[in-house]
Chains A and B, each alone.
Chain A
């Protein structure tokens, strides 16, 4: 009995000590201001130094949390119980959040740095007039490949993936929109097609790709490509940039038939307890130097023209990650197809995955 009591007391003492340490760390990390800004962002999607810089400049305290998928983030916000001031969803998620009335309107008069953003990325169909969202990063969907494992193939066209020499070499990402979209694009249809005939022929086309598919997986793609265990993968430009950073052999290409153009935008969720702080944070992230430093750290493409002016020219000139406007004309943004159509996409994708011929 004595031992148990002693052990319990020891645990409580340890907890108190840890509590005090944590409190101390929290205070030294955030020196001033009682106002907090709670940011909910993707993992590894900001340079941590910028958080400190923001705290020093504005006096707000930042509470930073991460999520790993749009759906998880939306669930958290929809359920309430949290006070996120900033979230960074992708475009289709923004559309959905708008529909579900989860967002607060953004006041452009509080964002003097908004002038830094390339107008090309403003006033897009998923959020006309940028009432609810401000661009953070953008990118494309394309093919990352390892020339040293291939026989001189390049991937200017989606059809290159169907080349018989690639048998068992292609990795696909486990996303219905991405894979079905690739099928549609390879036939010259729109990514957002809701035409049953187009979707069926896209499925048939995809099914003929089956012999070439090595695996349909998620984030493990990065490791497999970097370790040269696979030769070709369908992936997002930012992820491709990560891979190429770690393995210089790799190359990235967006097929010319067209592909997906995606955006991650900053929004202010309904749960926000500090709307002024949220605007201050968005404005801070739009600052030219801040955006440049962040893009340098994260590796995705920034929509900030002022930042691009001070960034490394080699990075900006790289058309694989900063495609020209003509090239962008070929790209399409995902539209919210509605629950029913999305279900149909998932069904088709499942059929493809099961190899149901």
Chain B
């Protein structure tokens, strides 16, 4: 950073202001007693108490988090195994076609995925609810995880594995002690990507929620029909602050461990 020019710094600051301004604007008005986002009347906590007194909203929030965590975890596991499989396919054209199929799923519109899942679930007779939402979130997260893990596997030098084998490592040892540690940044990046995708997905989730199970994106969408109430601002504020604390906390833990787990940093 030492030799960055002044213009570059200003540019960076500007970008961050643009990125964060809407969020802070929203949080600012969550303290407005006026009830609208037009002008600031006076300070109040009432919108925050409204969030906490609405049990249904809290349950929906918890549902959202559970689905995000579980689907990210499961899709990461499946995605990592999948990428291992893809990398060790010898036949080049087969490997490329599998990769293309993976990419097709990433670029397919959510609405198409959601509608297909709705039809599939009702045909098979799965009741819409927690399971259907979880399954579809896992499904659309796997291709993303694969895309995050695969480059790490491909840049791994195969002589590392040969060396390990020469030194007497079993296949299991190679996987546990050589391959997985090497691709760890990719695994974590995949996990967090899947987590974010699951948290903010609306279109797919909309089709497969039912029987009282709903997630935040779906709920806020139908709430917004009657105009954005400041309860939504307060809720968004809470989520933003919690996320901020998690990221900061994670940063300090990984600093103390002296390792970079996120995969966003530089590989040593």
Contacts and interface: CB of A to CB of B under 8 A. Distances in A.
B226 A22 contact: no
Contacts of B128: 76, 81-82
A79 B226 contact: no
Contacts of A219: 224-225, 227
A336 interface: no
A152 interface: no
A3 interface: yes
A42 interface: yes
A246 B118 contact: no
A8 interface: yes
Contacts of B221: 43, 68
B212 A8 contact: no
A204 B62 CA distance: 53
Contacts of B223: 43-44, 66
Nearest to B257: A3
Interface string B35-51: 11110000000000000
A219 B188 CA distance: 39
B56 A42 contact: no
Contacts of B38: 226-227, 246-247
Interface stretch (A10-18, A94-102, A167-175, A316-324): A10-18
Contacts of B239: none
Interface in B127-147: 127-128, 132
A3 to B, nearest CB: 7
B126 interface: yes
Interface in B162-211: 176-177, 180-181, 184, 187-188, 191, 206, 209-211
A15 B122 CA distance: 27
A312 interface: no
Interface in B56-86: 56, 58-59, 62-63, 65-66, 69-70, 72-73, 77
Nearest to A52: B55
Q: Is the interface of A mostly helix, strand, loop or mixed?
A: helix
Contacts of B219: 43, 66
B121 interface: yes
Contacts of B210: 65, 76, 81-82
A80 B126 CA distance: 10
B36 A246 contact: yes
B119 interface: yes
A33 interface: no
Nearest to A273: B211
B228 interface: yes
Contact of A15 (B36, B69, B209, B218): B69
Interface string A6-33: 0110011011001101100110110000
A71 interface: no
B177 A1 contact: yes
Given A8-B73, A219-B224, A15 B121 contact: no
Given A15-B66, A22-B59, A25-B55, A44 B211 contact: no
Contacts of A8: 73, 77
Most chain B CB within a 10 A radius of its CB, from A26, A45, A65, A72: A65
A201 interface: no
Contact of A18 (B54, B55, B65, B218): B65
A63 interface: yes
A49 B229 CA distance: 17
A168 B58 CA distance: 43
A29 B69 contact: no
B159 interface: no
Contacts of A222: 227
B261 interface: yes
30 contacts: A1-B181, A4-B180, A18-B65, A21-B62, A22-B59, A25-B59, A28-B55, A29-B59, A38-B212, A43-B221, A43-B222, A44-B222, A44-B229, A65-B214, A66-B214, A72-B206, A76-B128, A76-B210, A79-B118, A80-B122, A81-B118, A81-B128, A82-B210, A82-B211, A219-B227, A226-B36, A227-B38, A246-B38, A246-B227, A247-B38
Query: Closest 5 CB pairs between A and B?
Result: A43-B222, A63-B212, A44-B226, A66-B222, A82-B210
